Structure 1
Amino acid sequence: MNEKLFYLKCTFVGILTGIIVITYRVLLDKINLWRKDFFQNLKLDITFYDMLGIVIFIILSSCFLGYITKKYPMTRGGGVGFVKADVEDNIDFSSSNKVVLRDILYRLIGAVTALSSGLSFGIEGPAIELGAETGQAIGNASNSQEKEKKYLVTSGAAAGLSAAFNAPLTGMIFALEQIMNNISTPHIMAIFISTTIVSGMTYKVFGLRPFFDFQLLDVIRLQDYYVIVIFSLITTIMGKCYFKLASFFENMNKRIKLPDIIKPIVPITIAIFVSYYFFYLTGEGYIIANKIIFNDFSLSYLVVILVAKLIYFVYSSSTFIPGGSFVPLISIGAILGKIYGLVIVKFFNFPNEYIICFIVLGMSLLMTSIFRAPITSVVLIVEITGATNLFYPLAIGTIFVMLFSSILKMNPLYDSALKKYIGSIHNLKRKD
């Protein structure tokens, strides 16, 4: 392998992934603003043309999503499991640039369409897949050897996650922890180059602002760490509830006897209804999380929002429509953390600063319980909140979540999802 040429390819992977994912994020930002204005105005005055436009959108978006998820199954769900399987030689993504470029286009349009409808998805799943497919395309175009292609796919996946959150270190750690089995210097350099390049591009477009800007005044005292252990158990149980709820909705979706091409009409219609009556439950959950984190609400209200957001997010995820999970789970974890923080402060006289601390802990620990990726979860939350002084409590919490998850026999989301996809998609070709 020509080292200089390989690093040049990684640079191109970073640049192209940056262009694609930045385009994806900009489109979503503009569409989300339009959606908010549209549904606010709709409550004031509903016209015949508004209703006609909604019906047309439901039909067209449902047919499009049904078509691409049936004909191109690699676009289903977040797609991260497929990237992992491709790198591990379990599934062959595609053999030509024509196929890869088609998948990139369909995933981009499909992800934008799904989030535009109001379903509860994150941006990172499609971003990771878009980056991986960009790496595959460059590998095919340059006639790279199979081993080098795997490096480029991993490099692109890391760049995609980095671009989604402006979090280069998270992109690197995620690839090392979740995608790669065998770590080598070329693999690490491929990830390092692409994530560094793409981060410079996203910083230029979106700035250095974090997703959540916390002003942490204090950290949890060592003698109070037992409350972290208790919270770790609670978040693990919440993760277990997620899997039970996901299984329920998947079985419910299987009982819907509609042709695959129009099957998304059910979730899209539900999403429009939720957007009209409960707009802040839709999308990633970033808006409602910020609203709840930085404002005062009663415990009963927070519990209702937590349950509603969890149910709607899990239902959205069970539809196999293109979308991610990180930000919705981060938002749900933040709400759970605020509830726990309020309880221990109000009823057990802990310091008020613990509320913010457990909001941050909730973001990381819930992700850990579902993805079983403790290092990625800790690093991501530190990067998007700037809560560096909570690194040790986060690490302690994730260790206990991993322990409790093992006791409860919880499988990582990507592994369990991939098994279901493989079982239901007959036209995926396994490698020998």
Structure 2
Amino acid sequence: MSFTDNEKLRLTLEGVLVGIVSGIIVSMFRWSIAHSLKIFQGLYIAARSNILLVVGLILLMIIVAIFVGYLLKKEPNISGSGIPQVEAQLGGEMQMNWWSILWRKFVGGIMSIGPGLFLGREGPSIQLGAAVGQGVGELTHDNKGVNQRVLIASGAAAGLSAAFSAPIAGAMFVLEEVYHNFSPLVWITALASSVSANLIALYIFGLQPVLQVPYRYSLPVKYYWHLIVLGIILGLMGRLYQIATLSMPSIYNLTRLPRYIQGIIPLLMIIPLGMMFPQFIGGGNEIIVNLAQYKISLLLMLGLFILRFVFSMMSYGSGLPGGIFLPILNLGAIIGAIYAIVMNQLGLLPINFESNLIIFAMAGYFACIGKAPFTAIILVTEMVGSLKHLMPLAVLSLVAYIVVDLLNGAPIYEALKERLNINSDFLNRVSKFNDRLELPIYEGSSIDGKYIRDIPFPKEILVVAIYRGERQLIPRGDTLIKAGDRLICMVNAGQRAKVFRKLKDLIDGID
């Protein structure tokens, strides 16, 4: 099953449509959250001297928790960031009702993130975009397996692009973290969607970078050793973040509350936090931008990190609709600031480079937790609005990634996906439909340099094509597999995820 130029063009144009619609929806989502947060910050400040307002806020949070809990009970797949669900959907392990996801995630996300919980808008934005992609596929009758997944992937890219005004990172994230496949078809469609969505976001929010962290100097090469040390620290803290995040559902279960109503705990706790620290609540955009300007003591900075870390765990662990993307960047920025202050007090680094380390640490922390270093580097570059940091970003991200890898840390979204309740009835229902798998052959693969007849492919698949660059080969027994090839296989849709793992182990040489 191959794609003609006309089919590729049609998918790309549909990707543009997905990007435009996703851009509008995610921009509305982003705007609503930002303005809700401002309103709630004002209410928290006013509640300091008004007991009736405190009572009113408590009642409001209970109502919000019950309503969002109702949404979660009706549609459990809107829980959390939504990225693990999108990964499972693209892997053929899960099917969604796109309209049910779209409106419930939109409403539930605003109601959960708006009051100031330490949740990000980007995960929900990715799921909103994926739902749009699925909807466009179904409404245009382009809902056969591979085309549907391409549009879902492009919608996810558009969602991240509109959430952060980062079109290249949006496309890269889908390829590196969500789709796990650098397919040219997915790449060009995702890029078309990302750029289209970003145009909408730029029209609404302007050209200013999302995280315009002020800095005056580039980091001299003589201070690059700090990147190694900071990278190790970020890697260790990143592994701690992974462990804590994956442990939170078990901790919440100790409350004996039904899963769908556990969000009442962080929603009630945000009231005293908002009254005491209104400037430190929410996803953390403003904290990152102003971090170097706070000029606060090391002790207070450590307190800020503990506050953000603990309540981020509580917010996300409750299962409310909201992401961890921006909170991860926020925690990374705080770690960078703490490191700069400590090194300055030790006389090892001028404080002028604090802003630099804040920027670098954001990328490093996300690179090791999500295990998506390219996305981290590109995302922070686009969000900060400067290309001057590419080399230190790369060094720091690489070190942090290696540390987490040595500690056996898995990509956080993939680990969360493994904990989803996959509907086996769905897999049985779709098993009679054919689907398409595309896998790249890497340098050093165990099947590199072998003839097709000598490769023990799983019996559930049929190799139908091999792409070598832009050239398509019809596979025969004496066809030689080479590094850089892309294998195109047909498989039963219900067995897609299982067969994909078998093929990947075969290509990687894992018994």
TM exceeding 0.5: yes
2:14 aligned residue: 9
* 1:382-397 equivalent positions in 2, closer than 5 A: 382-397=381-396
Deviation at 1:84, TM superposition (A): 1.4
1:66 aligned residue: 69
2:92 aligned residue: 89
1:198/1:294 Cα in 2 relative to 1: closer, same or farther (>3 Å)?
same
1:104 aligned residue: 102
2:113 aligned residue: 115
* 1:224-243 equivalent positions in 2, closer than 5 A: 224-243=223-242
Deviation at 1:245, TM superposition (A): 2.7
Larger radius of gyration: 2
1:293·1:334 contact (CA, 8 Å) conserved in 2? Answer: no
Query: Any idea what SS the aligned residue of 1:348 has?
Result: coil
Going by fraction, where is helix more abundant, 1 or 2? 1
1:117-176 alpha-carbon deviations (Å, 9 max, x no partner) = 321101100000000000000111111121111110010000000000111111111111
Matched, 1:130 2:128: yes
1:317-362 alpha-carbon deviations (Å, 9 max, x no partner) = 1111111112211111111101111222221332333212111111
1:247/1:17 Cα in 2 relative to 1: closer, same or farther (>3 Å)?
closer
1:45/1:321 Cα in 2 relative to 1: closer, same or farther (>3 Å)?
same
Return the alpha-carbon distance in structure 1 between the equivalents of residues 378 and 108 of structure 2: 29
Query: Any idea what SS the aligned residue of 1:74 has?
Result: helix
User: Letter of the aligned partner of 2:408 in structure 1?
Assistant: K
User: Letter of the aligned partner of 1:61 in structure 2?
Assistant: V
Query: Any idea what SS the aligned residue of 2:48 has?
Result: helix
2:26 aligned residue: 21
1:57 aligned residue: 60
1:245·1:311 contact (CA, 8 Å) conserved in 2? Answer: no
Return the alpha-carbon distance in structure 1 between the equivalents of residues 89 and 247 of structure 2: 29
User: Letter of the aligned partner of 1:75 in structure 2?
Assistant: I
Return the alpha-carbon distance in structure 1 between the equivalents of residues 25 and 207 of structure 2: 19
2:116·2:283 contact (CA, 8 Å) conserved in 1? Answer: no
User: Letter of the aligned partner of 2:109 in structure 1?
Assistant: A
Pick aligned residue for 1:40 from 37, 41, 45: 45
Deviation at 1:44, TM superposition (A): 2.8
Q: TM-score, normalised by structure 2?
A: 0.79
Query: Any idea what SS the aligned residue of 2:346 has?
Result: helix
User: Letter of the aligned partner of 2:137 in structure 1?
Assistant: G
Query: Any idea what SS the aligned residue of 1:293 has?
Result: helix
1:213/1:267 Cα in 2 relative to 1: closer, same or farther (>3 Å)?
closer
2:259·2:319 contact (CA, 8 Å) conserved in 1? Answer: no
Return the alpha-carbon distance in structure 2 between the equivalents of residues 245 and 173 of structure 1: 27
2:332·2:363 contact (CA, 8 Å) conserved in 1? Answer: yes
Q: Which moved more, 1:251-260 or 1:358-367?
A: 251-260
Query: Any idea what SS the aligned residue of 1:331 has?
Result: helix
Return the alpha-carbon distance in structure 2 between the equivalents of residues 230 and 53 of structure 1: 48
Q: Which moved more, 1:56-65 or 1:294-303?
A: 56-65
1:96 aligned residue: none
Aligned pair count reads 423
1:183/1:213 Cα in 2 relative to 1: closer, same or farther (>3 Å)?
closer
2:159 aligned residue: 160
1:321/1:3 Cα in 2 relative to 1: closer, same or farther (>3 Å)?
same
Query: Any idea what SS the aligned residue of 2:252 has?
Result: helix
* 1:233-272 equivalent positions in 2, closer than 5 A: 233-272=232-271
1:214·1:387 contact (CA, 8 Å) conserved in 2? Answer: no
User: Letter of the aligned partner of 2:103 in structure 1?
Assistant: L
Matched, 1:341 2:344: no
User: Letter of the aligned partner of 2:122 in structure 1?
Assistant: E
Matched, 1:77 2:76: no
Return the alpha-carbon distance in structure 2 between the equivalents of residues 426 and 188 of structure 1: 29
1:224/1:259 Cα in 2 relative to 1: closer, same or farther (>3 Å)?
closer
Return the alpha-carbon distance in structure 2 between the equivalents of residues 16 and 428 of structure 1: 32
Q: TM-score, normalised by structure 1?
A: 0.93
**Cα root mean square deviation, aligned:** 1.9
1:239·1:370 contact (CA, 8 Å) conserved in 2? Answer: yes
Query: Any idea what SS the aligned residue of 2:282 has?
Result: coil
Matched, 1:293 2:296: no
User: Sequence identity, in percent?
Assistant: 26
1:41/1:231 Cα in 2 relative to 1: closer, same or farther (>3 Å)?
same
* 1:260-409 equivalent positions in 2, closer than 5 A: 260-409=259-408
Structure 2 unaligned segments of length 5 or more: list them: 428-493, 496-511
Query: Any idea what SS the aligned residue of 2:321 has?
Result: coil
Return the alpha-carbon distance in structure 2 between the equivalents of residues 330 and 157 of structure 1: 19
User: Letter of the aligned partner of 1:157 in structure 2?
Assistant: A
1:150 aligned residue: 149
2:128·2:159 contact (CA, 8 Å) conserved in 1? Answer: yes
Return the alpha-carbon distance in structure 1 between the equivalents of residues 424 and 284 of structure 2: 34
Going by fraction, where is strand more abundant, 1 or 2? 2
Q: Which moved more, 1:274-283 or 1:23-32?
A: 274-283
1:71-97 alpha-carbon deviations (Å, 9 max, x no partner) = 31210110111111211222223xxxx
1:420 aligned residue: 419
2:45·2:274 contact (CA, 8 Å) conserved in 1? Answer: no
1:209-267 alpha-carbon deviations (Å, 9 max, x no partner) = 11222343333333332221110010111112213333453322011112345332222
1:275/1:295 Cα in 2 relative to 1: closer, same or farther (>3 Å)?
closer
